[in-house]
Chains A and B, each alone.
Chain A
């Protein structure tokens, strides 16, 4: 029998993998993809709980999370293009203009 706990465990593992990626990788685009992975782990939790509790609200929230993720992708990738044009790199260690 597949219970809600199974889905939550998969979601927790995916979220942790995403966290490791954000903290260890240095290519800004890969960090961005790891953030998408974490967002998707949260989406899985929302849909699993929505299905478990028989309530539609969680799935509407996932809808809004996808909207925000799409907006974030557009603005984030435009920022990366602007960064690359300035310094020929998307390595996060080169983003140190504000370092004192």
Chain B
């Protein structure tokens, strides 16, 4: 059972990373977008294995649903072909070096550090009993009520801003 879980994790991680690479490497933006949807679905699987089913549902509805539809819609609207191949190789080399250094730092920190701290009351048994959505709701409407209200104002500003920016000049 244990080894099966590990195998499943490695399979999902492999698909996540390969589709993440496809996002960066595909010449056609539509193929990048489809790979990104695949990455989002794999991340939703990770969230389920981490006992966060509400987050997995939100991930699929908001990211794989709403945001990707918006991106693909704009791509179709602008009707552009494949990107020309990068002219300057030093930019690619610099980017790979920068990302490599960053990843090395994180991995070294992970290897030598220990993730610990104050362990809270929420565990998988409690999530089974109370329900994940209810736990999120309780946190959202008590401790995080003010940020929640600010988020609604942010969304309103984003709606108005998007309409103003994208409308034709009258």
Bind each other? yes
Could you tell me which A residues sit within 8 Å of B by CB distance?
A: 1-2, 4-10, 12-21, 23-27, 29-30, 32-34, 36-37, 40, 43-44, 47-57, 59-60, 62-64, 66-75, 77-82, 84, 89-91
Q: Beyond the given A5-B110, A16-B103, A70-B158, please list 13 additional residue pairs across the A-B interface where CB-CB is below 8 A.
A: A4-B115, A6-B9, A7-B50, A15-B102, A15-B103, A17-B21, A29-B29, A40-B39, A56-B139, A70-B155, A73-B70, A74-B161, A80-B74
Type the 1/0 row for B59-84, where 1 means its CB is closer than 8 Å to any CB of A: 10011001100110011011010010
**Which residues of chain A have C-beta atoms less than 8 A from B98's C-beta?**
19, 23
Which residues of chain A are near B86, meaning CB under 8 Å?
24, 26
Known interface pairs A2-B6, A66-B62; A36-B29 also in contact (CB < 8 Å): no
Q: Are A17 and B162 in contact (CB under 8 A)?
A: no
Q: What is the CB-to-nearest-CB distance from A30 to chain B, in angstroms, rounded to a whole number? A: 5
Interface of A is mostly: helix
Contact of A19 among B36, B80, B102, B161 (CB under 8 A): B102
Whether, in the assembled complex, B165 has its beta carbon less than 8 Å from a beta carbon of chain A, the answer is: yes
Contact of A71 among B96, B117, B144, B158 (CB under 8 A): B158
- Given A67-B151, A77-B70, do A20 and B95 touch, yes or no (CB 8 Å)? yes
Q: Which residue of A lies closest to B96 (CB)?
A: A20
Cα A37 to Cα B29 with chains together (Å): 14
For B163, list chain A residues within 8 Å (CB): 78
User: Across chains A and B, which 5 residue pairs bring their CB atoms closest together, nearest first?
Assistant: A23-B95, A71-B158, A55-B120, A78-B165, A21-B24
Query: B23 contacts A17, CB within 8 Å?
Result: yes
Give Cα A55–Cα B123 distance, bound, in whole angstroms.
8
**Quick one: which of B66, B70, B78 contacts A90, CB cutoff 8 A?**
B78
- CA A74 to CA B154, docked complex, whole Å: 12
Secondary structure at the B interface, as helix, strand, loop or mixed, is helix
B63, A17: Cβ atoms under 8 Å?
no
Minimum C-beta distance from A94 to chain B (A): 12
Contacts of A25 in B (CB 8 A): 24, 83
- Judge whether B55 and A27 touch: CB under 8 Å: no
Given contacts A17-B17, A20-B24, contact A12 B120 (CB under 8 A): no
Residue of A nearest to B49 (CB): A2
> Contact at B24–A78, with CB atoms within 8 Å?
no
Q: Are A53 and B51 in contact (CB under 8 A)?
A: no
